[in-house]
Structure 1
């Protein structure tokens, strides 16, 4: 299905997701947001790639201003939502671009369903490392409890998800479990489509010291084990600023993956 630009709601499970599709005839690119981010974060990458691509964005459950609440905010639900969006828009195969949490979703989706995936760009996420500790779990819960005191003021803007502090903390802790080398490593090793990382530098929100750089140190092992995966660029931006400051590097990685997919077709 290609044609005119479209935006609307896509039903899935007990909720509906706000989706935007440029409807152009170029290769379909599906953008997967950070854990509590919105589709608006991708506007610079989309502008860098231009009109030769079919850009599809959406807000996950309870994110943004329109996507509905749900009884299920699990990672598996996030992976299922990819199919719901692509099926609703009539897209059989898409190039997946995910940032942070969205990179984990893209990696799992590419690993499980290569027949529906042109390739993947993983933006400062999906790095296998055992970073979740009992101390960090409590730090996560404390941070989200503090956020909950004023989150209601920001929810109408779409900048904060319409989830409880407990739900947000549970989602973040679940991500730590999924990121463990024993869990994520086999997922990455099984990827058979062209995949490229774009890696940030420095800290991320909630990390201390060089924690984030230690996590990123796992990537050479990933690329050594799987020739389909490479590192397109390491950029000076931090985890939180990479979409805003280094959209050109992300766009270059998308082009690399699309070219590799064409060469391997």
Structure 2
């Protein structure tokens, strides 16, 4: 499916008390909107975008206090969902194909569930599975992790690996994200568009290998309940490296999702 060509554009999109740095490659192809990891900027998507090529309209943006976007008083999950609406509205996109990594995958699934008929499809990259660290013990573990990392966060920020916020605010984002993913099963059940997962292997920052594999296995009952949801690939790289090392599998999942829409075309 193609649409009228759209000119490429980069700039700031205002929303609430902030503004988001957005890039739209334009072109006549189907619009793909990329949703970043919790503290990442948009740079990790570059290999995926290069692999898909110019036949698609690629829209990327930095979240609040990430990358080139400005700070905000609100870093909640609901605010991040409003940011998607703001970017879509500013770029005139009504029916996106959403591709999300980690936190961004949960955003994609929630946006698709709240906007039936608008989301063309969703690709979840090692995220949006019904598992999370919750309760007092989970919250304490997350806060301890980020307090240990408080001196490291400013050092990795220039590389797009942390946000311009305190360690405690990082922890707040992570605590809310874990609560949302732990309860995401019914949301996945209600999604009525093609959803494809690309799952990583092994451990991740803050999660041992056994725990991460248990997390990924939590998707199995969802797959049995919703025929629109499938695993496109399980790759060898871990959660942190999946976009860099297995970008071809992610791009293939985007094509697979589009093919499901087109009845096997593309």
* Both structures adopt the same fold (TM-score exceeding 0.5): yes
What's the counterpart of residue 167 of structure 2? 165
Greater Cα shift, 228-237 or 208-217:
208-217
C-alpha contact (below 8 Å) 1:28/1:91 kept by paired residues: yes
1:122 is displaced (CA, Å) by 0.4
Is 1:63 the equivalent of 2:66? yes
Is 1:201 the equivalent of 2:219? no
What's the counterpart of residue 255 of structure 2? 255
C-alpha contact (below 8 Å) 2:13/2:20 kept by paired residues: yes
Distance in 2 of aligned mates of 1:230 and 1:150: 37
| Correspondence 1:30-179 to 2 at 5 A | 30-64=33-67, 66-156=68-158, 158-179=160-181
C-alpha contact (below 8 Å) 1:131/1:215 kept by paired residues: no
Gaps of 5+ in 1: none
- 1:162-196 C-alpha deviation (Å, 9 max, x unpaired): 1111111011001111112xx21110000000110
1:219 is displaced (CA, Å) by 1.4
Gaps of 5+ in 2: none
1:230 is displaced (CA, Å) by 0.5
What's the counterpart of residue 220 of structure 1? 220
1:142 is displaced (CA, Å) by 1.9
Distance in 2 of aligned mates of 1:2 and 1:69: 33
Report SS of the residue matched to 1:148: coil
What's the counterpart of residue 27 of structure 1? 30
1:208 is displaced (CA, Å) by 2.3
Distance in 2 of aligned mates of 1:237 and 1:155: 23
Aligned-residue CA RMSD in angstroms?
A: 1.7
What's the counterpart of residue 244 of structure 1? 244
Distance in 2 of aligned mates of 1:115 and 1:164: 38
Report SS of the residue matched to 2:263: helix
